[in-house]
């Protein structure tokens, strides 16, 4: 089998007396979409924040593209190609789409030989290319982000990640607060990225979305991984049982 893009081994994070993530193991392979599921407080967000450099693990190891990595800051994760999109998307509402794609990493060009100015034309052209590659349509690259729909904003944020050469994309509730039509567009975008061999982790409470785009499911409860399933070999009912810890499902998952 191909080497995992991401592997976490025995990853653990404590906050005082609370064990938020407890000896977690997980792998994500190239071109694979993995759903990370669990109730509120299961440890999903804490796990993702360790992978994206926000939190430092108390125990365990993270491997990325076959090498052990230690990330001191989110910028370390970005430099590796780990892009995380949280629900708030971190977009600047008063700027246009192409300025958001280059936010914090703007292109410049020399002016009068010694002054550097923003290269708006180059940023617009590059933005147009990445949005075309992802089959994303927005009314105009000049429109301020606040004028775009929720799905279009999500698409711009994903486009930014892909432009900056994401090698792993983590989506935290990507379809929350979107209408049905826009949810479908975002899910189509996830499928397109998978076809381009970009591995994706999706955190979502929307089981329909999860079942429509994922290859594999990892279920957490109280900080631990309680189950892993191939999506096509399980059902929403079984997954809900694993998330809440129903006795019947527990019995069926006991060895012997």
pLDDT value for 1: 53
pLDDT value for 191: 92
Domain boundaries, the chain: 6-91+166-253
| Token pair of 186 as six digits | 């975002």
pLDDT value for 19: 95
Q: Is the pLDDT of residue 247 over 70?
A: no
Confidence of residue 88 (pLDDT cuts 50, 70, 90): confident
Stronger pLDDT, 247 or 81, i.e. the higher one:
81
Q: Is the pLDDT of residue 5 over 60?
A: yes
Phi/psi at 2 (nearest 5 deg)?
A: -60, 150
What is the pLDDT averaged over residues 139-154? Answer: 86
Q: Is the pLDDT of residue 141 over 60?
A: yes
pLDDT in tens, 38-53: 998 899 999 999 999 9
Confidence of residue 86 (pLDDT cuts 50, 70, 90): confident
pLDDT value for 26: 96
The mean pLDDT value of the chain amounts to 89
Q: Is the pLDDT of residue 256 over 50?
A: no
pLDDT value for 34: 97
pLDDT value for 184: 86
pLDDT value for 251: 53
CATH class of 6-91+166-253: alpha beta
Query: What 3 state SS string does 175-243 have?
Result: CCCCCHHHHHHHHHHHHHHHHCCCCEEEECCCHHHHHHHCCEEEEEECCEEEEEEEHHHCCHHHHHHHH
Write the CA distances from 233 to 122, 215, 229, 242, 247, integer angstroms: 47, 10, 7, 14, 21
What is the pLDDT averaged over residues 43-64? Answer: 95
């Amino acid at each position: 089998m191909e080497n995992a893009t991401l592997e976490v081994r025995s990853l653990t994070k404590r906050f005082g007396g609370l064990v938020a993530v407890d000896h977690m193991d997980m792998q994500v392979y190239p071109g694979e979409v993995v759903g990370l599921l669990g109730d509120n407080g299961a440890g999903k967000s804490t796990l993702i924040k360790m992978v994206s450099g926000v939190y430092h693990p108390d125990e365990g190891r993270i491997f990325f593209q076959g090498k052990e990595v230690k990330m001191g800051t989110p910028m370390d994760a970005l430099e590796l190609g780990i892009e995380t999109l949280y629900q708030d998307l971190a977009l600047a509402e008063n700027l246009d789409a192409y300025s958001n794609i280059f936010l914090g990493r703007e292109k410049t060009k020399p002016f009068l030989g010694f002054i550097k100015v923003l290269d708006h034309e180059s940023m617009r052209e590059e933005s147009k290319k990445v949005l075309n590659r992802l089959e994303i349509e927005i009314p105009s690259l000049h429109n301020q982000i606040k004028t775009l729909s929720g799905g279009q904003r999500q698409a711009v944020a994903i486009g930014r990640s892909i432009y900056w050469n994401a090698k792993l994309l983590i989506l935290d509730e990507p379809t929350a607060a979107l209408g049905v039509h826009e949810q479908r567009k975002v899910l189509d975008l996830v499928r397109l990225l998978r076809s381009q061999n970009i591995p994706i982790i999706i955190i979502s409470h929307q089981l329909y979305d999860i079942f429509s785009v994922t290859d594999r499911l990892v279920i957490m409860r109280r900080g631990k991984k309680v189950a892993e399933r191939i999506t096509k070999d399980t059902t929403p009912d079984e997954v809900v049982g694993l998330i809440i810890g129903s006795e019947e499902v527990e019995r069926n998952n006991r060895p012997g």
